[in-house]
Structure 1
């Protein structure tokens, strides 16, 4: 049982590290390469739906790995589509100077609206595929990724000390104007971390129950959530991403826009 848990944790961490690195690397290639990157990943997207469909049919260790890996590929397509600027939102300009409150929120939604709608459509397809299928690892993985990504975006909106604006690619540098830099933790950060930590403990408890075929998926979800929590903590305490993905990021640049206080 211990070996199975270790392997599930290692597989999850490797998917997270390698998947993020590949996307960062592709996004830093010349813009003329984006269409080829997206075309190639679209093939992987199609394969990921096949993998998810197969994994949902039976609860097993293999299907847990297949489901998780397939969703990582699926999620990667959305990330690449956003970071290359292909699917973002109707607004592609910086935040209007002096904008605060509700207008700032509306403009922030506009810069990523199509991206979020694409994720919603993807989740709806997974929900439809899940009907009367016994294994839920795939849809739970996608839902967890989506929830934690929304949490991260809201934290950038409300403000964090380390917003990572310096890592934005040149064609998305306007997004830095929508981030808020603060000297400490916002109330949303405290609440989101409280919910995330509570969910993590619940997943760890679930991972201790039942047979290996059932618990493997819970172990992967718990590990993924733990990594997402670490990503949130990095918003508070400085940690150069080059230490993890220096091979993929190359030379980073400071954004041309300053973030509002």
Structure 2
């Protein structure tokens, strides 16, 4: 068991998380006339990614772990692109009324992302079908981690956090800012972080187990690193500085 057995999957996960986010932001910065072609091209990548998930579902090898993780990220990227380009959002595309509060505001906020939520459910089912019965479930667990932590992030942004990362939303989605709440902290955030840590801890323990196979080390390290990054993103929500600088090259305009 060498250091590289843990270091490579960690670095690979961090790189794809950082680089993939930057590429999506960069594509969104391109002229509006290119967005439709970008969306259709991402749809083709989505199909190839689902095929990759199906192919790697029974490859309980290090290569299979990397393939499952990469393909799941590509599936996730499709809905990110569709959302930021404005094609997969919701039925409501107007700012929140100034006097709107409580349950009414929550309902309006849900309307702004309703189609996006449906797309996530459909994609989750597709990933589950592609990996069904397989011995390599890295792709499925990758998607579930991304989905769970994204839902948590949405709820926390709605309830109120200090750092809203407004620059990540393009001009045509600026109306969504009116559904965010800026405040130092909300009661859900520490619970979200604690629950995520309770899941991340056994993943790290599984990766560092004494009798762990190469596949177990790679797959557990990838998943644990991904979840740890999501936990870090949650912590950054209440820190007095933004993460925009990490993707300055993707936010050039």
> Which TM class, normalised by the smaller chain length?
over 0.9
Q: Is the 8 A contact 2:158 2:180 kept in 1?
A: yes
Match of 1:258 in 2: none
> Which secondary structure state, in structure 1, belongs to the residue aligned with residue 239 of structure 2?
coil
Deviations 1:17-55 (A, max 9, x none): 110000000111111110111122112111101111111
Aligned-partner Cα distance in 2 for 1:11–1:99: 44
CA drift at 1:125 = 1.6
Aligned-partner Cα distance in 2 for 1:81–1:167: 14
Stretches of 4+ aligned residues off by more than 6 angstroms:
none
Match of 1:239 in 2: 241
> Which secondary structure state, in structure 2, belongs to the residue aligned with residue 14 of structure 1?
helix
CA drift at 1:163 = 1.1
> Which secondary structure state, in structure 2, belongs to the residue aligned with residue 203 of structure 1?
helix
Q: Is the 8 A contact 2:161 2:186 kept in 1?
A: yes
CA drift at 1:202 = 1.6
Match of 1:170 in 2: 171
Match of 1:72 in 2: 73
Structure 2 residue 224 is matched with structure 1 residue 226:
no
Aligned-partner Cα distance in 2 for 1:75–1:167: 17
Deviations 1:155-197 (A, max 9, x none): 0011001112243210000000000011x22110011011011
CA drift at 1:134 = 1.0
Unpaired runs of 5+ residues, structure 1, are: 252-261
Unpaired runs of 5+ residues, structure 2, are: none
Structure 2 residue 249 is matched with structure 1 residue 250:
no
Aligned-partner Cα distance in 2 for 1:13–1:213: 19
Deviations 1:76-111 (A, max 9, x none): 110000000000011111112211111111111110
CA drift at 1:233 = 1.5
| Further displaced range: 170-179 or 155-164 | 155-164
Structure 2 residue 208 is matched with structure 1 residue 202:
no
Aligned-partner Cα distance in 2 for 1:248–1:145: 21
> Which secondary structure state, in structure 2, belongs to the residue aligned with residue 240 of structure 1?
coil
CA drift at 1:59 = 0.6
Q: CA RMSD for the aligned pairs?
A: 1.1
Q: Is the 8 A contact 2:165 2:244 kept in 1?
A: no
> Which secondary structure state, in structure 2, belongs to the residue aligned with residue 17 of structure 1?
helix
Aligned-partner Cα distance in 2 for 1:114–1:242: 27
Residues 41-56 of structure 1 correspond to what in structure 2 (within 5 A)?
41-56=42-57
> Which secondary structure state, in structure 2, belongs to the residue aligned with residue 65 of structure 1?
helix
Q: TM-score, normalised by structure 1?
A: 0.93
Aligned-partner Cα distance in 2 for 1:53–1:238: 43
Aligned-partner Cα distance in 1 for 2:101–2:157: 14
| Further displaced range: 32-41 or 125-134 | 125-134
